[in-house]
Amino acid sequence: MTQDTTERRVTVRVMRLGAGGAGASGGEGAEVALPAYASAGAAGADLRACLDAPLTLVPGARAMVPTGLAVELPVGFEMQIRPRSGLAAKHGVTVLNAPGTVDADYRGEVKVLLVNLGDDAVTIAAGDRIAQAVIAPVTRAEFTLVDGLSDTTRGADGFGSTGSR
């Protein structure tokens, strides 16, 4: 079996906003790192915190963490905001609305909704990698109201209905 090694690329336009999301190019925004892939095979590009001061998340706390970036995605694509596995595994910090969605027509600052599900407080500093951005194609559906749905073996059986393990 042959493997398709063709790399698919799209261009995402990125504007640096700086800490707090205000301002254009230059100033503090010039220090904000662009999303970057950590390895050749990475699907997600790391997003970093853009903070004026460290942010401490006590257990159970959540916060909207700014990235200092705004993006312009190609029509037909979304940016999924996903947790970083290391942050979740080591500290219990994850993206609360994972995956978060940045729509192609959104032009505001990209922020990451983090929650601390761990047992200890975690401090996020400026420049810390806080999430991953995955660019994905969007399929829009046409929703049609019907009087009935086709029968299946599973039917309406819900959570846990396909087996015990």
pLDDT digits (tens, 9 = 90+) for 54-98: 999 999 999 999 999 999 999 999 999 999 999 999 999 999 999
Say if residue 99 is preceded by a cis peptide, omega within 30 of 0. Answer: yes
How far apart (Å, rounded) are the C-alpha atoms in residues 27 and 86? 31
Task: Give me the amino acid identity at 118.
Answer: G
More confident position, 31 or 24: 31
Cβ contact 70:15 at 8 Å: yes
Quote the strand ranges of the chain, DSSP E.
13-16, 36-37, 45-48, 55-57, 62-72, 77-82, 93-95, 100-102, 109-116, 122-124, 129-137
> Across all residues in the chain, what is the average pLDDT?
91
Summarize pLDDT for 102-120 with one digit per residue, the tens. 999 999 999 999 999 999 9
Instruction: Match 């192609």 to its residue by tokens.
Output: 104
Q: What is the pTM of this model?
A: 0.85
Q: Which domains does the chain have, with CATH numbers?
A: 13-137 (2.70.40.10)
